[in-house]
Chains A and B, each alone.
Chain A
Amino acid sequence: MPNMSLKKNEMPAQEPNVRNKNFKEVALGYSEATALDEAARCLNCKNKPCVGGCPVNIDIPAFIHKVAENDFSGAYDVISKSSSLPAVCGRVCPQESQCEGKCVRGIKGDPVGIGRLERFVADWHNQHDDKPAEKPASNGHKAAVIGAGPAGLTCAGDLAKMGYDVTVYEALHLAGGVLVYGIPEFRLPKAIVRKEIDGLKALGVTINTNTVIGKTITVDELFEQGYEAIFIGSGAGLPRFMGIPGENLKGVYSANEFLTRVNLMKAYNADADTPVQHAKNVAVVGGGNVAMDAARCAKRLGAENVYIVYRRGEAEMPARNEEIEHAKEEGIIFKTLNNPVEILGDEHKFVTGMKCIEMELGEPDESGRRSPVEKKGSEFVLDVDCVIMSIGTSPNPLIRNTTEGLETNRKGCFVADENGLTSREGVFAGGDAVTGAATVILAMGAGKTAAKAMDEYIKSRG
């Protein structure tokens, strides 16, 4: 008999007032008993709408069924057929708009906690199952992947499983991309990312860090080295600024810089050599997941007041509901319908405040969201000593500027078809480098699709 409770099992979590002072993981994960109880809520529908909502098409009812049977190892095998990074996805996927958004149980009550179960299975595997992955037999072909973020790692994993000799090139000193420089420790512990990457290495994937494609080596030189197909998953790493006065004052960061200092360079740890400002009052400008991450990091670094300043309303925020809720619980102050117009500084050029103007929502714009309009004469100054700009990123120009014949669009994103093929033969692309800033799971989906297309392309050449 299925468990007909309308509520999904709650995720145990650190208390808000405890966790906003440490960098340990917020959500603690289901126990075995809770996982069994939650798995029993799945009706094992015949038409499996949840699978259609998953960008990498995990056979969700099948893995949940294994959980319900107490076969956690079997559940992991089902997931890993489709996903290379289950412990990551179980934590950072926007399940509410994907698998769980399609769950039949969600029509009346809560959907099955698919993400929480995925995380449970992956964590159980990481703790209990240490049989090393078997290196598949080589098919004698070589492929290169540019960027060791979610798109590139997924593509590399899938190609390796098919027997390809895969080399991943990463510009930073550590593989993981946004999983290590962007998403904070308290949302995605770095040990988990490391474990997933070790798994890829066990499959035979080579990861070359400290290699900037377009600078250290070019795409054309990779072909000369004998790679038959190349996947570009270089992400969207270039931060945008608003172009308002005062943005170059000391204490103004891009979210990328702030998060990179805190996460990749471990500036939250007093022993780290990389500094970061420990501000008293912080304004984070923007309403996406990255803005929530930056705000919650700033709070954990000891800020008394952390504001989210967003020009539209809370309903229009692109961040996941869960991130917004977590931020609020931790004491982040939301100043929606406000837009910065100037950042103010003292004689030493340190930030002393941010002048904002109140906004109201007008007619819907081309994105369907109601566009904000300034309220005349409503300017006020927010008392802050640090401003973090989290208003989006665009793709890095290093590859497109050094590779002939690679078409890009107006925004600088690579143009690729539904299989990831670019305008250049043998070159595939996916993830944020194609779509502009999006989610981890969409990038993984693109990496997966491209791996399949690369395999077909290489085989077609004989």
Chain B
Amino acid sequence: MYKIVRKKVLNPTVTLMEIDAPMVAKKAEPGQFIILRVDEDGERIPLTVADFDREKGTVTIIFQIVGATTEKLNHKNEGESIQDFVGPLGVASHTDGLKKVAVVGGGVGCAIAYPIAKKLHNLGCEVHSIVGFRNKDLVILEDEFGAVSDKLCMMTDDGSHGTKGLVTDALKQLIESGEKYDEVIAIGPLIMMKFVCALTKQYDIKTVVSMNPIMIDGTGMCGGCRLTVGGETKFACVDGPDFDGHLVDFDEAMERSSMYKPFERSKHEAVCNLYKNA
């Protein structure tokens, strides 16, 4: 069992949890992920590492409540435990030799983009962060990004906070104004990453994306997380989760991620009803 040592509600649908997992904390690097099960009959879900504290032996996860499992997880409180927590899995993000990077985060994807921005900043890299949310109420990690970014562009769809517009608008503006990036790192909804890649392709800027497909074991065993990258089949769990965004078949990834949508919806409703009746 793995204890929840801290829980913080970041916005109505996004929660942060710091989990006591010393073995994972010792090895975790930005870009890697963990797999957890909330309870005995629970499903295994992958979540990317949002932060870690090697001395305290804790790993931080930030998750959006989208289905039955994240709903159950969100009902757990500080001091309670979750059943399983395994990692760190996948390959860590490559940060070597980068001098100037644009980090683009969308929604809860910012939780994954943040540790990478932080690591780059600590390595002395110039970091321009562009973060996008639907509206003011959903903004997370603004101060954290501010602390590790040489430039921070806050974007909201409705203009209720920061600048009205999409992350691609801000990125385009920066590039057009003459900013030269060694690399763009984009993490967020598939559709956002697809459009960031379409933009950076025009300017021929290397772009890395973090993929989060459906998976079970996270060690290469099931192949459920397979993606087409540059015409080849790759397993996100062992070959990724970071990939060259210009080579990823996003349309296929979007279709594959919808495989169990009806099941997920009905399970989520069932779990919500359970808590309502309790």
Contact = CB atoms under 8 A, between A and B. Distances in A.
A57 interface: no
Contacts of B226: 241, 248
Given A215-B87, A247-B233, A275-B264, A349 B252 contact: yes
A299 interface: no
Interface string A241-273: 101000110100110110011000110000111
A137 interface: no
A212 B222 contact: no
Given A216-B24, A248-B228, A275-B260, A237 B216 contact: no
Contact of B43 (A212, A254, A256, A265): A265
Given A265-B216, A398-B238, A257 B87 contact: no
Contacts of A397: 220, 238
A210 B85 contact: yes
Contacts of B87: 212, 215-216
A78 interface: no
Interface string A361-401: 00000000000000000000000000000000000111000
A272 B226 CA distance: 24
Contact of B220 (A238, A247, A271): A238
B221 A396 contact: yes
Tell me if A's interface is mostly helix, strand, loop or mixed: loop
Interface in B65-96: 68-69, 83-89
| Size category of the binding interface on chain A | 35 or more
A212 B86 contact: yes
A217 B23 CA distance: 8
B175 to A, nearest CB: 32
Interface string B203-234: 00000000000001101111110111000010
A5 interface: no
Interface string A277-291: 100000000000000
Nearest to A218: B27
A215 B27 contact: yes
Nearest to A349: B255
A3 interface: no
| Size category of the binding interface on chain B | 35 or more
A265 B44 contact: yes
B151 interface: no
B69 A239 contact: no
B278 interface: no
A266 B238 CA distance: 24
Interface string B29-52: 000000001000111100000000
Interface in A166-217: 171-173, 181, 209-212, 215-217
Tell me if B's interface is mostly helix, strand, loop or mixed: mixed
A398 B87 CA distance: 13
Given A171-B86, A210-B84, A257-B216, A275 B221 contact: no
Interface in B232-271: 233, 238, 252, 255-256, 258-260, 263-264, 267
A247 B224 CA distance: 11
Contacts of B43: 265, 272-274
A410 interface: no
A271 B233 CA distance: 33
A245 to B, nearest CB: 11
Contacts of B233: 241, 243, 247-248
A459 interface: no
Give the one of A211, A216, A241, A265 with max B CB within 10 A: A216
B84 A237 contact: no
Contacts of B85: 210
Contacts of B224: 253-254, 257
Contact of A216 (B41, B44, B86): B86
A216 to B, nearest CB: 5
A215 B89 contact: yes
Give the one of A173, A241, A256, A398 with max B CB within 10 A: A173
B44 to A, nearest CB: 7
B120 to A, nearest CB: 23
A396 B85 CA distance: 21
Given A241-B233, A348-B255, A396 B220 contact: yes
A254 B43 CA distance: 18
Given A237-B221, A238-B220, A215 B88 contact: yes
A257 B24 CA distance: 25
A416 to B, nearest CB: 21
24 contacts: A171-B217, A172-B217, A173-B44, A173-B86, A212-B87, A212-B219, A216-B27, A216-B88, A237-B219, A239-B221, A239-B223, A241-B223, A241-B226, A243-B233, A250-B258, A253-B224, A254-B224, A265-B44, A275-B260, A275-B264, A275-B267, A397-B220, A397-B238, A398-B220
Given A266-B41, A396-B221, 13 more contacts: A173-B37, A173-B83, A209-B84, A215-B27, A216-B88, A217-B23, A248-B256, A253-B224, A257-B224, A271-B41, A273-B42, A273-B267, A397-B220
Interface of B: 23-24, 27, 37, 41-44, 68-69, 83-89, 216-217, 219-224, 226-228, 233, 238, 252, 255-256, 258-260, 263-264, 267
